[in-house]
Amino acid sequence: MDPSARQYITTRAMNGIRLSVDPNDVLVDEKVSVRASGLEARQQVTVYTSVKGDKGVTFASSGCYQATEDGELDLESMPSSAGTYTGVDGMGFIWSLLPSPGQRPGTQLLQNDVTKPQTVDISVYSGHRCLEDLCSGLLDAPLVTNVLTRWYKPNGVSRTPITSGRLRGTLFLPRGSGPFPGVIDIAGLELGVLENRAALLASHGYAVLALPYYGYEDLPKHTNKLDLQYFKDAAAFLDTHTHVKPGGLGILANSKGAEFAQLTAIHCPQIKCMVRVNGMPYITFFPIRDGDVLYPPAVNLDLSSCELTHEGVVGRNGHCFDTEKFTKVWESDVKILSICGGDDLNLPPDLHQLQVNCFPVNKRDDIELVKYKGAGHLIEPPFSPHCRASYNKLAQNNLVWGGNPKDHAAAQEDSWRRILQFFSKHFHGKPML
């Protein structure tokens, strides 16, 4: 993505209707303005948006609008009366994307190759149309179309696969020689290396190591073979990298990854700050070894404690509320931003407050808990479509993550702002404006 290339792209229909997207070449966490002109006075129209996912699945959204007396349409200031989103929301056409009708339930919009853009096709149709008809391809041609290009990794950010000893992953570095503040990005139970969030964070000036820990190249095939030394090696690697600013590292981790992040923070003085997103406050399912020391799980894997619903498996049951089994992260000096989905159906939200209560009074300022009502487990960067349930190989079924689309979208936008401010405060001494 080249910022100098940002401009309107306009496709003109036979009747002179103009559709503008400003800017048309953006990072995925940036807002855009979508406007149309040349429509009939108070004409009813539908804005239809479609994106192709990694596996060829089409995701789509729709919003029904009425043009002004001047024949204009502005998604930032005008309400959608029906569709996949309603009300005034300039980015609703992105965050409300759904798998098109007929797709397998539990499909998530993913983009594993961050070197390629996400291409968003935007069309305006006459009349108010339902999503099924729009996706069918049987309607008349749209009045006007346009394309939005969204990136996780701009051209200035470098991407380097890492093979150092037994360490595996991908290092993203911003443009320039640095040095840059270093952050380790640890995902949940997803197989392999997930690069989306790391690439996006690097675009904001951080050297980010996307760190897989199982199911990737020659790493363990299962989480029952993990060693804490692997995470220590990652901290040592990033801390001594020539492009990384000395003085401490950050960690951004979610779900299962947050378990390892907390242990790493306790054992690695290089870690100065950490963001945990819907992370367990203890070790789950399988032990993790640290040399001759074995950290046992606070809870064992017990699928019988899960509830099977029409949406899939709800795993909120069977968790540990015994604070003696919590990872004693408060014994470190690490500063923590804890982000919690209030409708997380995978992890009881009460556990987050329980962990905060474990911090001694003189260390209570070391942790900040932010809870989002109506948000589920998979809190991702802004404007990512809400995924309420997705297929999980361990459960051999869809896992229900929870949340509702509108509240979840608001949580993603606000939490990303908080994450950037948190890292800016602890690396640069002041929050980002």
- 265 and 182: one domain? yes
In a domain, 167, yes or no: yes
Count of alpha carbons within 13 angstroms of residue 341, beta-carbon side: 31
User: Among the options 37, 255, 384, 424, which is catalytic?
Assistant: 255
Provide the 10 A C-beta neighbour count for residue 44: 16
Average per-residue pLDDT in the chain? 91
Q: What is the mean pLDDT of residues 21-36?
A: 95
pTM of the entire predicted model: 0.93
Of 151, 181, 211, the residue that ends a domain is: 151
Strands 158-164 and 167-173: antiparallel
Its domain, for residue 109, covers: 10-151
Residue 331 belongs to a domain with what CATH number? 3.40.50.1820
- 224 and 127: one domain? no
User: Among the options 96, 344, 384, 408, which is catalytic?
Assistant: 344
Token match 């479609």: residue?
50
432 pLDDT tier (thresholds 50, 70, 90): low
Task: State how many domains the chain has.
Answer: 2
CA-to-CA distance for 426 and 433, rounded, in angstroms?
14
Catalytic residue flag (residue 344)? yes
What would the two tokens of residue 152 be? Answer: 């996780």
Residue 6 confidence (pLDDT) above 70: no
Of 95, 124, 151, the residue that ends a domain is: 151
CA-to-CA distance for 267 and 248, rounded, in angstroms?
13
Q: What is the mean pLDDT of residues 330-338?
A: 96
Residue 316 confidence (pLDDT) above 80: no
Q: Are 109 and 91 in contact (CB under 8 A)?
A: no
What would the two tokens of residue 422 be? Answer: 């948190």
What would the two tokens of residue 386 be? Answer: 């809400």
In a domain, 127, yes or no: yes
- 107 and 180: one domain? no
- 286 and 197: one domain? yes
In a domain, 1, yes or no: no
Q: Are 154 and 123 in contact (CB under 8 A)?
A: no
Q: What is the mean pLDDT of residues 162-187?
A: 94
In a domain, 3, yes or no: no
Catalytic residue flag (residue 377)? yes
CA-to-CA distance for 264 and 251, rounded, in angstroms?
9
- 108 and 195: one domain? no
User: Among the options 377, 386, 408, 426, which is catalytic?
Assistant: 377
Strands 288-290 and 284-285: unpaired
In a domain, 365, yes or no: yes
pLDDT at 11: 55
Print burial letters for 117-140: b (CB count within 10 Å at least 16), e (below 16). Answer: bbebbbbbbbebbebebbbeeebe
User: pLDDT digits over 284-306, tens only?
Assistant: 989 999 988 999 999 887 777 78
pLDDT at 3: 46
